[in-house]
Chains A and B, each alone.
Chain A
Amino acid sequence: MDQTTKEKIFSILQNTTGVDPLSLQWEKPIRDQIDLDSMQFMAIVSKLENDLGIELPLSVMEAETMSQFMDELDKELGK
């Protein structure tokens, strides 16, 4: 994943959650650190799909940690 895309993703996450992704502990569950329900998480993934112009698989929704989430995005963007 190139730096520009990474920054775009971080900016989307920051704008949608109000939390700087770099301030999170990447190996701990995201939902333990940010108060997000399934609908809000879906809204984030939808925004990523729209803004990045790609269709994301279910595995992105199932990522528990920030590391897993970024890995899943990386896989899709690399296709």
Chain B
Amino acid sequence: MPLLTDYLAFGNIHFQNKTYLPEMIQSNIDEVFRCITQKSISNSPFVFLFAPNHIKTVYAVFGIIKAGKICVLVDPGQGKLEVEDMVKTTPPGAIIHVNKASDSFNYNEEFEFKHYMLSEAKLQGLDDVCLVLYTAASDGFAKAAMLTYKNMLADGFALVHNGLLMESVSCSLIGYHHLFAFQTGILAPALIQSNILIIDSKDFTSLRETGTQFVENKIDHLYTVPMVFNFLKKIPGIEQCFKNAKNIVSGGCKLNSHLFNIYKDLFGVEIHEGYGLTEASPICAWHRPLDSIKIDSVGRAFSCCEIMILNTDGQKLEQGKTGEICIKGENVFKGYYNNIPSTEDSLKNGILHTGDLGKLDDDGYLYLTGLKKEMLNLSGNKVYPAEVARLIKKHCNVLTCEIKGRETESNQPSVIATVRLRNSTETSQKDLKHWCRENITGYKVPREWVFI
């Protein structure tokens, strides 16, 4: 069985004012590979990687995959309760916590090997899986989406064919635990010796410095979310960065036309909006470099897949009619690990049912119109009310909890919790909020509380 790492051909990686050459990158990947191969004490193929935007994340992801293991990409800020759930679903053979203070691993401190043993049945069907990401918690439980090397390559090469060149420099200004960032910011460039700029999206203490890095490294492919585009435009001299821009892409959530027009007017660049989801490796649609931009649309089907709009009976709808967005192609994931019912709900005859609603126009442009699934989109971070309510109910003083989204003036939904406590006092209410901040991923913690 070929491995994803068999297809890699690194260019240079620029990180924190240092350039890492391909042979240096490869040698560090090999070190991770050797460490995992020699020290593993479990038959579990899963290796958790708490993945900041850092050079060592690149070494770790590909070292894990080269060792024939499956990399579970985890948000470094993931809450304790969600991590406990992940450990139950995909017991890890190792856990890697990247220490951001250095650029090479201290294996004794950053790698933790575990004893979990999986039954033969639970090891079945994993041979071609290289990545797992947790997502789709609409029923309260995040699921382990399995991505094969073929899935990742299909989407990666589609990206390459959409204008990525050897001399390009790509930068994803979103956390690498989002597949959109990993695919655009690491994997696709690494398929064709293209160059990468890594910026720690959670820790860019000075945006001015980020702007300088963009200009100095001559980035021409930039991928991020609308909120970050809103801040990048404030950086003095940032127009230099966009002079040679080839692909400026926005994903994660809706890009408003006002921001699009500002970039066009100020910098002469058109932000290309796209659409995707983890289960599709992740890009399904976008405005390709030569496509004319249709504002409000997320572009046309990516070259590795077909987009169809289906009604509730699974029949294809004609252009202009709204239905569920469904995806067919090599980028469609393998399924959710150890979860046949959820896999059967999302994958029908190999077609991915996204749970998103939309329509196609006569030119094949896709327009998102709503959601079939219950989910809130907070600047690209997806929050599932059912999951948050379930996690809050783990607190011993909580009797009932309901989570809802509320539209605000800023068009950003606010997460509201309505909670009934066994013993409700000002102190116990404060305790619960504090407990949530300590145990649940930050962006999922409700910002508004109603105690009944």
Contact = CB atoms under 8 A, between A and B. Distances in A.
Given A43-B379, A51-B410, A58 B235 contact: yes
B443 A18 contact: no
B234 A57 contact: yes
A16 B201 CA distance: 19
**DSSP class of B's interface residues: helix, strand, loop or mixed?**
loop
A27 interface: no
Interface string B409-452: 11110100000000000000000010011000011010110000
B235 A18 contact: no
Contacts of A16: 447
Contact of A46 (B227, B433, B448): B227
Interface string A35-79: 101111011011101110000011001100000000000000000
A38 B203 contact: yes
A46 B229 CA distance: 11
A41 B379 CA distance: 12
B230 A38 contact: no
A46 B77 contact: no
A5 interface: no
Main secondary structure of the interface of A (DSSP, over half): helix
Given A18-B433, A18-B437, A38 B201 contact: yes
B447 A42 contact: no
Contacts of B227: 39, 42-43, 46
Interface residues of B, number: 33
B7 interface: no
Interface in A4-37: 15-16, 18, 35, 37
Contacts of A50: 408-412
Contact of A47 (B175, B207, B410, B433): B410
B141 to A, nearest CB: 25
A39 B409 CA distance: 20
Contacts of A51: 408-410
A42 B234 contact: no
Nearest to A31: B205
Given A18-B447, A37-B77, A47-B408, 10 more contacts: A15-B447, A15-B448, A18-B433, A18-B445, A38-B202, A39-B201, A39-B379, A50-B411, A51-B409, A51-B410
Interface of B: 77, 175, 201-208, 227-228, 230-231, 234-236, 378-379, 408-412, 414, 433, 436-437, 442-443, 445, 447-448
20 contacts: A18-B447, A37-B442, A38-B202, A38-B203, A38-B204, A38-B205, A39-B201, A39-B202, A40-B443, A46-B230, A46-B410, A46-B412, A47-B410, A47-B412, A50-B411, A51-B408, A51-B410, A57-B234, A58-B236, A62-B208
